[in-house]
Amino acid sequence: MTELDAAIDRLVRPIADWPEPGVTFRDITPLLADPVAFEAVIDGLVLLAEKAGPVDAVLGVEARGFIFGPSIALRLGVGFVPVRKAGKLPSTSLSTSYDLEYGSATMEMHVDAVVPGARVLVVDDVLATGGTLLAAADLVAQAGASVAGNLVLIELSALGGRERIGAAGCESLRSY
């Protein structure tokens, strides 16, 4: 186990049966409060992001993808694209609905947020069943772009998300 693995294990607290029975939420709040660990996580995510090759944009999924995505985008020298929950964006948007491990949701992205042909890196906090990353890939495809890779802090491997997302693959700092 690396020092970074140990920090993630120590600072990301599992909360059983939240937001509903049977779901274990991964609370990153203690990690964000530790500036040394948070910086190490960003450094680690940037190293993983570089495996995707050159990208034109980093797309972050609301809400926790907003925490990691902008820092990664700045380090890679590209722009950041926010993907929001339905009804939160002020301009014309693309939309997709998807299933989560505990329900369903709709996400949106501004129609002009990604240019056709762009290579986009998708960033979120956790890969569980893969529904969120598949939905983000759908938005990217609707814009005429492609997913260069997916990047998460934590992968919950028992839930099979990696198998669902397919060819774009996923890099994670920690897997449980």
Written as one string, the DSSP assignment of 96-156 is EEEEETTEEEEEEEETTSS-TT-EEEEEEEEESSSHHHHHHHHHHHHTT-EEEEEEEEEE-
Catalytic residue (choose from 26, 64, 84, 174): 64
Q: Do 151 and 23 contact (CB within 8 A), yes or no?
A: no
d(CA 110, CA 81): 9
Residue 14: helix, strand or coil by DSSP? strand
64 is catalytic: yes
Which residue reads 């042909």 in tokens? 117
> Residues, the chain, total?
176
d(CA 165, CA 115): 22
Catalytic residue (choose from 20, 26, 101, 108): 101
Q: Do 83 and 61 contact (CB within 8 A), yes or no?
A: yes
101 is catalytic: yes
Q: Do 160 and 130 contact (CB within 8 A), yes or no?
A: yes
Question: What are the catalytic residues?
Answer: 64, 101
